[in-house]
Structure 1
Amino acid sequence: MMREYERFMGLAAELMRAALDSWRAGNRRFAVLHAGMGCEHALKAVLCKVDPTFISDRSDRAFKFHAHGFGDQPGVPPLIQGRTIGLADSFKDASVVMQGRMPVSLQDFNQVIDDRNGVAHSAYHVEDRAGKTLSVAIKVAEATRKHLSVPSSDFWGDYELVFGDLAQVASLAAVGGGAAASNMEEAAETLARTEAAYAVDAVVPVVTSIVSTLPRWGSMRRSKDHQREITESVLRASVCTALSAVSRRAQQAAEALLAEHGLLPLPPEPHVPWPRGLSGRAWLNEVIRVEQPRRTQAANVLTVRLLVSRAVTEAFFGALRPNIPEGFDKTPTERGWYIGVTQPSAEAEIVFDCPGCSTPGMTGELQGQLEFDDCGCADYCSHPERTRTTARFERLHCPACSLTLTDPHEIEAAGFELSMDWDE
């Protein structure tokens, strides 16, 4: 049976080859994303070989117990709720385990962390440094491969002789000759520019028409301050309506582009049965292995959604501010200015800074349901009536940029947990 670290390393190899595929096809954004994900799996493989609980997050109460055969004990959450450490902690801990054989410093590796998170969580991408980021990631992945004695041909595949030379990788023919693969990032950026231009064209007439028309609606019984309040209220509503219209149009266009390139719809979530006699740890590894292709596809989908969302909101507010006349609030994202669209209420809701909006102050909602179960605490218990309340999140929505995620792997790729202890 394949051991834990071998499964993580197998996934790391797939992702690093995918990163080189993307670089070869000219998709710099996806190359950085895949390389960051590949490094995380490779670093966790190093930790798992020593002890699988090394990758258990401090708040985890599932993975660490299941990993050592205590998953059937009262109070232990299901394995699916297990939480593992992130990329930064994986690097720090693996550096300790590798005892001086890590080829780069944390300061250097921070570029991989920042760029991977930038692409995955906020569509932020610096084209000029993608090559350096990928090079650092390759050094780390290669060091972990050597540390775990994985054959180079197994890990790098067709890139065994060239993985260290990105110029040579880029000179190879596009993978499979597929136009969809080679043009994905270019098509997404072209769409983002098109929708951004549409947003600019939409906002200017709205502001100028409202500001120029409403003052003529005054009367002798209405003070200037009252007229200003009316104008600003109508302006707010009009701006929010315009933003909602252009952002929804942009997200629909992004979905059409993703479908054209075969990234949507996402395949059904795979069901991994838990055979009798299989340990919880082995089952979790199988789940990770089976789900990884879908997780990678979901991360690619989210990257395009965020790219388009950020371009539209940046363009919209960039055009809005200089067209708002003196005397009116120039920062429409401050509390009380933006009028959000009311969404169906949920049992569990968390307000967050939207990863798709470029302007600080824009917030969205993570919505879900509450589940109640016996806490299983042996002695002292702080849970009300010995009941643990868990929030299961199912939907992420921002009323400003219309970013809406209902797929669990997309929500996770955006940096949010699917569940949390609601009592804390």
Structure 2
Amino acid sequence: MTTTMAFVHPADDRIGGWAAGWRRIAATRHAPVAAGALLAVLALAESIAQARDTPLAKAFGHAVTTPVGESIVHGGGAPPVESGNPALYLVVFGLLGLASTLPVALLWTQPAAAAVVVSATVMLSPVAFHTLTVAGVAAQLICGYRLGRTGSQRLAVLLAAPFPILALAVPSGGEAGVLILLAACLAPAAALAGIARRARAEALENSAARQVIADSLLEHTARGERARIARELHDVVAHHISMVAVQAETARLAVPGMPAAGAERLSAIGDTARAALTEMRRLLGVLREDAEADAADRRPQPGLRLAELNELLDQARQASGTGVRLILRGPPVTLDPGVELAAHRIVQEALTNARRHAPGAAVDVELHYGGDALRLLIRDNGPGPRASVPAGGHGLSGMRERATAVGGELRTGPAAGGGFLVEARLPGAAG
């Protein structure tokens, strides 16, 4: 036998561990608040540095007077600001940095609102004030991915679409130009990555659901097949084995002057048959253990006809040596094969129960043909009320299952005037 070993590089193992760790951190409840606070601190530090390094006239495009009195005019779209107020830059840049990052804290609860505020601020900063922070771009990517992953996919694409246009409209020079170009490349990619991750998760969920349905169907089919095998074993094989036991006991007692060896052999045959019945009941218990809930959904396999009922009654007479009568009421009609098989099995099981629990009792089998139903009665004149099935038996439940499976019903209990009655009402003539 050949053994195949897979080698995992330690670097790959470390990368997988880091990725799993980041996913666990991102899934925590306080992760968005921590991310928003961290990005806000970074954005504020970047904004202060940019405000201190940016000349007033270069940022806002107004005239600056040189020491010799000459006036230099710088073009720009923003309104002029007094050159003697540098603190205004710190306030404006700081507010822009905070507005482009702090909404990340609300991303898990209000993803659409957070993404709109961040995207609007990130687009406004380079257009109106010629500034942009790395933290702001990172916040934009996070918002786009999260919105595509859990929020509105159309909104995620709509908020990412202006960045490529903005990269063409804003001058490419300086730090802000580089960052807006980076956002133009990564913002649509982040939104599409979130959408793709969402589609993959939905596909995995659908695949898992289909697998569960397939497994349930397979289990249902297996249960139905086990129950069908259990019914056939109980109705057919157990019936014949019980006849062997009864006939062996009857032969031992009915033949006068039988040698002791022959009587001993017949007694052994009866004991073996009864032991086989006990083992079969144990096996039936295993087969039927988890199939009770599906009984009403199964239909018996057609094949036997009520025309064979006389043969079944002859076998019962020979086995028990008692009277078994067949009583027909109404003109016989053609029934559905499944109904006929259910009726045959019910009669067979009722005769077996009567022979087992009321030995020597006479049995009447009545068939009442009606326009819309077949009424089936099996009555014996055994002594008083009795338990129809021993502990662990499946006779009554099997008969009830067969009746229910073809759309009928079955009732059992003491008969009026003594004995035991099995009454079934099954669908009538096939339409």
Q: Is this a same-fold pair by TM over 0.5?
A: no
Between structures 1 and 2, the one with greater helix share:
2
TM-score by length of 1: 0.21
* Greater Rg by CA: 2
Q: What is the TM-score when the length of structure 2 is the normalising length?
A: 0.21
